[in-house]
Chain A
Amino acid sequence: MTFNSLLKALPESLAKLDPRHVFRSPVIFVVWVGSILTTALAVVNPSVFTISVTIWLWLTVLFANVAEAVAEGRGKAQAASLRATRTETVARRLTRTGAEEQVPGTDLRVGDRVVVEAGELIPGDGDVIEGVASVDESAITGESAPVIRESGGDRSAVTGGTTVLSDRIVVQVTTKPGESFIDRMIALVEGAERQKTPNEIALTILLTTLTIVFLVTVLALQPFAAYSGKEQPVVVLVALLVCLIPTTIGALLSAIGIAGMDRLVQRNVLAMSGRAVEAAGDVSTLLLDKTGTITLGNRRATEFCALPGTRTLELARASYAASLADRTPEGRSIVELATTNHGVEDLTSETTMESAGAEFVKFTAQTRMSGVDYPSGAQIRKGAASAVTAWVRESGGTVPAGTMAIADGIAGEGATPLVVAERVGSSPAQVLGVIRLKDVVKPGMVERFDTLRAMGIRTVMITGDNRLTAQSIAREAGVDDFLAEATPEDKMRLIGEEQSGGRLVAMTGDGTNDAPALAKADVGVAMNTGTSAAKEAGNMVDLDSDPTKLIEIVAIGKQLLITRGALTTFSIANDVAKYFAIIPAMFVGVFPGLKALNIMGLHSPESAMLSAVIFNALIIIALIPLALRGVRYTPSGAAAMLRRNLLVYGVGGIVAPFIGIKLIDLVVSLLPGMS
C-alpha cells in the first residue's frame, strides 16, 4: 500500500460515508451515529476538545472506508484491464444449412456454432467441436505462450475474449452473453457480488453483541456517574463507547475478505465465492493427481540394465537408436539418458544411423513396440516385455532367463521395464537388456507433504497406475495414502468417505469426467485448460492450470482466517489500555484516588480521552497494510501457530496501545485547551 493508493481511495471512501453503506458494518455504524451526535454538540457548544473528538470520530469512519476502498481498488484495476479485452466482437455464426452469417457477439445464444479463424477473437465461451487451433489466452491468464485447443477430449474449452493464433475452429457457445467467464471474473475481482462469508457473518455477530454490551456499559455509566457527582458530557461518553467497541476489526473486516480473494487472483486463481476461500482454510484432505502434481508429468528412463554378455554402451546405443524418432516424453527421456551417460559421439560412432534409408518403426497399440529397421537388415525393437520377448521367439531366438527376472524386479519397484532386442541379418533376435522407466517425483514435494502433515492435512494421491506402481510413488513422495487405478466413480466414493468422516476435501480436475467430483469436493479447483463442464463444476479456476497450486490455495484460505482472528484478538485486547486512559480521566475529579489508574501518566483528562480516540482511529490506518497482505503465515501445527499469534496479537494488543496512547498524548498535550 502506497500513499498514492490511499489518495486514490479517498473519493470512494467519502462516498462510502452514506449511511446505507455504513450500516453494513454495525460497529462502524455506531461510530457513524456517534460522529453525527458529537458534530451537533460541537456546533451547539464548540470547544477544542469537542471539535477534536468530532474530527477524529469522523476520521475513524473514514479510515474504515479507506481500508475497504483500497482493498477494492486493487480488484478494480484488474477488472478494468479485463474489461478492455471484452471489446465488441463480430461473430461468424453458422446457420443450420452450414452457411455463415455475421452477427454481433452479444447476440449469440447457447448452442450457437461460430467459426473462428487465425487472428480473430473468440466471441464467447464455448467448446471446440471441430478443428484444432493455437489460442492466445494471455487476456485472462497473463501467460503469453499460446495453448492448443482442439475438439473432443479435455482441451476443448475456449474462453470468450481470447484470440485464435492459427488454424480454424468451430466453437459451440455454452454461455449467454453477459454471463461469460470474463464477465464473471470482472464481477468477482471488482467485488460487486461480494457477499459475506459464513465465518464473516459469525464474526460480525460476535462483534455486534460486543458492541451492544459496551453500549449498555456506557449507557449505564451515566447514572453511576451522576450518582457519584460527576455527570459526564455526552461527547465523553461517545468517545468512551467508540474506544471500547471493536472498531479496529470492524473497520478492517471487509478489507480482509476482499484482500483474501485478491491474493488468490494475484496467483491467477479465481474463487467463485468467498465461501470457497474460507473452506480452503478448513480443508483436511487433499486429493492430488499423480501426474503433473506429484510427479514430473511422465515416466522417465533412469537406468539401462544390460543382460550379462552385453555391454551397457551397446544397450544404450540400441535404445538411443530405437528412440530417436520416438517423440513421446518416454522416448525423449531415453535419448536424454543415453546422451548424458555416454555422449552422442559414442552412441553414433559404431552405428550406421547416418547411412540413408534407416526406417523408424512407430509404436502402435497392436505391436506395443517401436524401433528402427536398417537397410542392412538389422532391426532394433524396444517395448513392453511380453511384446518384445514374443518378437524374439518369433524370430527363433531364445529369451535369456535373466530378462524376465530384471523386468519383474523393475515392475516390482513400481517402475516400468522396457525390453530392448536386436536382430542382425537373418540370425535370431537376441535380448540386449532392459530400460527402467520411472515416475520422477518433483523436487521439493516430500518436504511440502511433510509440512502439510504438520498442518494436519492428509494427502491422497490419485492415479490410473496399478497398485504396485502407485504404492512405490506414494512411498517415495511421502503422501499419506493413494488411490490406484482410479476411475471417476472411485474418486467420488473417496470424497464421500472423507466427507462422511467430517473432513473437508479439496481436489483439482480438468476433464469432463472430473466434473461430478469437482462439484462434490468442498474445494474444487478446475484447470483453465479443462473443459467448461469442469470449470462450471468447480468453485475455483486456476488460470495457470497448475495443480500444485492447490497447496497454496489452502495456505491463502488459512491466512485469511488467521488475519481475521489476529485482528479481532488485537482489537479486543486494546480495550484494556483504553480503559486505563479514559476511566481515570472521567472521574479523577470526584475520586482523586483514581489517579493511580492513570498508569500511563497522561497529561490531562481531556488529552487522555482525545489520545485514546486518536489512537483508535490511527490504528486502523496502521493496520490496513497488514489486513491487505494478511498476517505472516508459516505452515505449522495449530498449537505452534496459536502460541505465536497469541503472543504477537494478544499480548501485543494489550501492550501496543499503552505505548501508542502515551506517545499521542505527548503531542496532544501541546494543543490549547488540553490542560
Chain B
Amino acid sequence: MSETLSGLLTLTVLLGLLAATHAPLGGWMARVFTDDKDWRVERAVYRAVGVNPRSEQTWRSYAVSVTAFSLVSIVVLWAMIVLQKHLPFAQGTSGMGRSTAINTAVSFVTNTNWQSYAGEVGTGPLVQTLGLTIQNFASAAVGIAVAIVIIRGLARQQTHELGNFWVDLVRCITRILLPLAAIAAVVLMAAGVIQNLAEPMTIHSLAGADQQLRGGLVASQEAIKELGTNGGGYFNANSAHPFENPNAFTNLLEIFLLLVIPFALPRTYGIMVGDRRQGWTLLGLAGALWGLSVALTTWAEVAASSGVAGSMEGKEQRFGTWASTLFAASTTGTSTGAVNSLHESYSPLGGGVILTNMALGEIGPGGTGSGLYGIVIVAIITVFIAGLMVGRTPELLGKHIGRREITYAALYTVVTPTLVLAGAGASLAMSGPKSTMLSHGPHGLTEVLYAYASAANNNGSAFAGLGADNPWYNLTLTVAMFVGRFAPMILVVALAGSLVAQKKRPATAGTMPTHTPLFLGLLIGVALIITGLTYFPALSLGPIAEALS
C-alpha cells in the first residue's frame, strides 16, 4: 500500500470515528452538565469536601473556585515533585531543580504539559501516576467546566447563577474523562502499550552500549494524556516512544483521542443553547482550521520528501509522513502537545503551520474546553464587527455584546499574543537565553517563538532544539503558561457573568444569523486576520524567511 493511500485511509477512518462519536458524546456531555441528580460516588465526594451540590455560584465565586483549586493543585504537585526522592516508587529518580519543579507543576495544572525535564528520568511512577495523571484529569476537567460556564452564560437569562464549579469538575471526571480514559487505556494496552510497575531494566544494545529501559503505568497515563489534550509523555520521546505509541493503530487511536472531546463540545454547546445549528458553525470553524493545517502540513512534508534530504528526519519509520503530520497538526491544533515526530525537523512551511496552529489561540479545535471558549470569543469579536453591519447593536444568541462583553473578549485576545511576543522578544534580546539555542538564523527564531507560543497557549509541545531547562526559560515559560491559562479563563467566566444576567432578545429577520455558511466564513476570516496578523511580522522572520530562502 502506498504511503498516500494509507495516509488517506487513516484520515478517512479518523473522520469516520469522529463523526460517529460527535453526536453521542456531545449529547452525553450536555446531559452531564444539566442533570439534576448526583451519582452516589459524587455525593460522597461532595460530602467529603463539604460542598452543597445544589448551590449555584456567581461568576466571581466560580472564578475564585477555579483559581483556588488550581493554585492548591500547583502547590501540592510541586511539593510531590520536590519531595519524591523521599517517597516510595521513586525508582532512583532524584527529583528536579526548584525552577524545573515549579515549571512542571504549573505546566501540568495549566493543561500545558510542557516538559522541561525528561519524562522517565525526572519523575518516578508515583509522581507520574498520583501527581501528573491526576492533574491530567483535573486540568482537562477545569477547562471543560469553564467552557460549560460560557455556554450557560449564553443559554440562561436574567440570573447570576452559572452552575457549581465543584459539581462541574467532579462530574466531568466521573462521567466523562474516567470512563472514556478507562476504555481507551484497555484498548491501548491490548494494542501493545505497556502498563507495569517493573523496575528499570538494563539491556546491552547491539551497538554495545548499555541502555536502561524503564517501565511504568504508561497505558493509563497515555489514555488521559491524549483524551484530556494534556500531552505530557511518560517518556521523554513522548508518542514517538514505542512503549507509548507502538504502531499505526495506537497512533490513529491517540490522534482520535485527542480530537474526540474538542470536536464533540460544539454539539454540547448547540444542545445547551437550544439551537444545534449554532454548534455546527463553531464545529465548522474548528474543523476548517484543523483541516487546513492537516492539509498544509501534509502537503509541505510530502513535498519536502521529494527533496534531496527527504523529510523523514525526526519522523518515525513506523508512522511515515502522513501519520506524523496528521499527529502534528492535531496535537498543535488541540493544545495537546504530545508529539510522535520531531517538529524541529519539519520543513519551514510545515513547522510554520503547526506554529500558527498555536498562535491562532488553539481553536482548531483547541484543548478540552479551552478550545470551545476560545472559539466563542472569536464568535463574539466577529459578531461585534459584523453585527454592526446589519444595523443593530451586535448580539450573540440574543445577548447584547456591549461595553463589558467586548472588553472581556478583546482583553482575551490581547493576553496570549502579548505573552508570546514579549517572551520571545525578550529572550532574543538577551545574550544568555540566546546562547542555549541550537539553531541560528530564522530557524532559531522559530524555536524560541514556538516555545512561548506553546507555553502561552497551553500546548506544551516543544519545537526542540532549544535548551529550555534553565532558570530563564523555566520561569518565563512558567509565567506564560500560568497567565496564558488563567487570565483568559477568568475573563471568560466574567464574560459569562455579564451575559447570563442579560435578557435574551428574540431573533427576528433583523437579527444577524449566526448559523449560516456566510457567518462561518466570517469567523474563519476574523480568526485569521485578527489573530493571525499579529504574528505575521514574527512569522515572516522565522518560518516564512526560512521557506523563502
Is the A/B pair a real complex? yes
Chain B residue with minimal CB distance to A643? B518
* B504-519 interface (Cβ within 8 A of A): 504-506, 508-513, 516, 518-519
* B427-442 interface (Cβ within 8 A of A): 428-429, 434, 441-442
Q: Which of B391, B424, B441, B510 has the largest number of chain A CB atoms within 10 A? A: B391
Residues of B within 8 A of A199 (CB): 388, 393, 402
Residues of A within 8 A of B405 (CB): 202
B17 close to A (CB within 8 Å)? no
CA distance A125 to B411 in the complex (A): 49
A197 to chain B, nearest CB (A): 10
Chain B residue with minimal CB distance to A500? B503
CA distance A564 to B544 in the complex (A): 35
A561 close to B (CB within 8 Å)? yes
CA distance A299 to B509 in the complex (A): 34
Residues of B within 8 A of A226 (CB): 428-429
Main secondary structure of the interface of B (DSSP, over half): helix
A579 close to B (CB within 8 Å)? yes
A559 to chain B, nearest CB (A): 7
Q: Report whether B403 and A201 are in contact in the complex, using a CB–CB cutoff of 8 Å.
A: yes
A252 to chain B, nearest CB (A): 14
Known: A223-B426, A502-B504. A282 touches B393 (CB 8 A): yes
A557 to chain B, nearest CB (A): 7
A273 to chain B, nearest CB (A): 15
Chain A residue with minimal CB distance to B528? A576
CA distance A502 to B392 in the complex (A): 14
Known: A591-B549, A594-B544. A224 touches B537 (CB 8 A): yes
Q: Report whether B385 and A568 are in contact in the complex, using a CB–CB cutoff of 8 Å.
A: yes
* A486-509 interface (Cβ within 8 A of B): 500-503
Q: Report whether B389 and A641 are in contact in the complex, using a CB–CB cutoff of 8 Å.
A: yes
A649 close to B (CB within 8 Å)? yes
Q: Mark B402-426, 1 if CB is under 8 A from A, else 0.
A: 1101110011011001100110111
Q: Mark B479-520, 1 if CB is under 8 A from A, else 0.
A: 000000000000000000000000111101111110010110
* A555-585 interface (Cβ within 8 A of B): 557-559, 561-562, 564-566, 568-569, 572-573, 575-576, 579, 583-584
Known: A224-B541, A575-B529, A592-B549. A456 touches B393 (CB 8 A): no
Q: Report whether A456 and B434 are in contact in the complex, using a CB–CB cutoff of 8 Å.
A: no
Q: Report whether A503 and B392 are in contact in the complex, using a CB–CB cutoff of 8 Å.
A: no
B156 to chain A, nearest CB (A): 14
B423 to chain A, nearest CB (A): 9
Q: Report whether A228 and B445 are in contact in the complex, using a CB–CB cutoff of 8 Å.
A: yes
Q: Report whether A456 and B509 are in contact in the complex, using a CB–CB cutoff of 8 Å.
A: yes
CA distance A641 to B392 in the complex (A): 11
CA distance A224 to B509 in the complex (A): 49
Q: Report whether A455 and B509 are in contact in the complex, using a CB–CB cutoff of 8 Å.
A: yes
Q: Mark A378-408, 1 if CB is under 8 A from B, else 0.
A: 0000000000000000000000000000000
A269 to chain B, nearest CB (A): 18
Known: A209-B411, A213-B413, A565-B386. A638 touches B428 (CB 8 A): no
Pick from B389, B424, B534, B540: contact of A642, CB below 8 A.
B389
* Interface segment out of the listed A46-54, A214-222, A414-422: A214-222
Residues of A within 8 A of B387 (CB): 565
Residues of A within 8 A of B79 (CB): none
Residues of A within 8 A of B545 (CB): 228, 587, 591, 593-594
A257 to chain B, nearest CB (A): 13
Residues of B within 8 A of A587 (CB): 540-541, 545
Chain A residue with minimal CB distance to B412? A209
A77 to chain B, nearest CB (A): 28
Task: Sort chain A's interface into a size bin.
Answer: 35 or more
* A615-629 interface (Cβ within 8 A of B): none
Q: Report whether B384 and A214 are in contact in the complex, using a CB–CB cutoff of 8 Å.
A: no
Residues of A within 8 A of B518 (CB): 639, 642-643, 646
B197 to chain A, nearest CB (A): 47
CA distance A466 to B72 in the complex (A): 70
Q: Report whether A572 and B536 are in contact in the complex, using a CB–CB cutoff of 8 Å.
A: no
Q: Report whether A281 and B384 are in contact in the complex, using a CB–CB cutoff of 8 Å.
A: no
Known: A228-B445, A587-B541, A646-B389. A206 touches B381 (CB 8 A): yes
B98 to chain A, nearest CB (A): 28
B288 close to A (CB within 8 Å)? no
Main secondary structure of the interface of A (DSSP, over half): helix
Q: Mark B527-549, 1 if CB is under 8 A from A, else 0.
A: 00110011111101100110111
Q: Report whether A217 and B386 are in contact in the complex, using a CB–CB cutoff of 8 Å.
A: no
A560 to chain B, nearest CB (A): 8
Q: Report whether A575 and B533 are in contact in the complex, using a CB–CB cutoff of 8 Å.
A: yes
Q: Report whether A216 and B417 are in contact in the complex, using a CB–CB cutoff of 8 Å.
A: yes
A454 close to B (CB within 8 Å)? yes
B308 close to A (CB within 8 Å)? no
CA distance A591 to B407 in the complex (A): 39
A105 to chain B, nearest CB (A): 42
Q: Which of B389, B425, B428, B434 has the largest number of chain A CB atoms within 10 A? A: B389
Q: Report whether B381 and A593 are in contact in the complex, using a CB–CB cutoff of 8 Å.
A: no
Pick from B393, B398, B529, B537: contact of A278, CB below 8 A.
B393
CA distance A8 to B538 in the complex (A): 44
Q: Mark A218-236, 1 if CB is under 8 A from B, else 0.
A: 1111111111100000000
B41 close to A (CB within 8 Å)? no
B525 close to A (CB within 8 Å)? yes
Residues of B within 8 A of A575 (CB): 529, 533
Chain A residue with minimal CB distance to B526? A572
B397 to chain A, nearest CB (A): 12
Known: A639-B516, A642-B512. A225 touches B541 (CB 8 A): yes
B206 close to A (CB within 8 Å)? no
CA distance A458 to B510 in the complex (A): 10
Q: Report whether A641 and B541 are in contact in the complex, using a CB–CB cutoff of 8 Å.
A: no
Q: Mark A632-645, 1 if CB is under 8 A from B, else 0.
A: 01000111011101
Known: A220-B538, A568-B388. A453 touches B509 (CB 8 A): yes
Residues of A within 8 A of B393 (CB): 198-199, 278, 281-282, 561
Known: A201-B403, A214-B534, A220-B425. A650 touches B548 (CB 8 A): no
B522 close to A (CB within 8 Å)? yes
Q: Report whether B429 and A596 are in contact in the complex, using a CB–CB cutoff of 8 Å.
A: no
CA distance A501 to B508 in the complex (A): 12
Known: A205-B403, A282-B392, A558-B391. A638 touches B513 (CB 8 A): yes
CA distance A569 to B425 in the complex (A): 30
B261 close to A (CB within 8 Å)? no
B209 close to A (CB within 8 Å)? no
Q: Which of B418, B525, B540 has the largest number of chain A CB atoms within 10 A? A: B540
Chain A residue with minimal CB distance to B427? A223
Q: Report whether B510 and A216 are in contact in the complex, using a CB–CB cutoff of 8 Å.
A: no
Residues of A within 8 A of B201 (CB): none
B238 to chain A, nearest CB (A): 29
CA distance A517 to B529 in the complex (A): 46
Residues of B within 8 A of A201 (CB): 403
Q: Report whether A284 and B510 are in contact in the complex, using a CB–CB cutoff of 8 Å.
A: yes
Residues of A within 8 A of B541 (CB): 224-225, 227-228, 587, 591
CA distance A329 to B179 in the complex (A): 81
Q: Report whether A212 and B414 are in contact in the complex, using a CB–CB cutoff of 8 Å.
A: yes
A597 close to B (CB within 8 Å)? yes
Q: Report whether B509 and A637 are in contact in the complex, using a CB–CB cutoff of 8 Å.
A: yes
What residues make up the interface of A, taking CB atoms closer than 8 Å to B? 198-199, 201-203, 205-206, 208-210, 212-214, 216-228, 240, 244, 278, 281-282, 284, 453-458, 500-503, 557-559, 561-562, 564-566, 568-569, 572-573, 575-576, 579, 583-584, 587, 591-594, 596-597, 633, 637-639, 641-643, 645-646, 649-650
6 cross-chain pairs, A with B, having the tightest CB-CB distances, nearest first: A565-B388, A456-B510, A558-B391, A593-B548, A456-B508, A456-B509
What residues make up the interface of B, taking CB atoms closer than 8 Å to A? 381, 384-393, 398, 401-403, 405-407, 410-411, 413-414, 417-418, 421-422, 424-426, 428-429, 434, 441-442, 444-445, 503-506, 508-513, 516, 518-519, 522, 525, 529-530, 533-538, 540-541, 544-545, 547-549
Please give 7 more A-B residue pairs, beta carbons under 8 A apart, in addition to A213-B413, A284-B508, A456-B511.
Answer: A205-B403, A210-B410, A216-B422, A220-B422, A566-B388, A579-B536, A637-B509
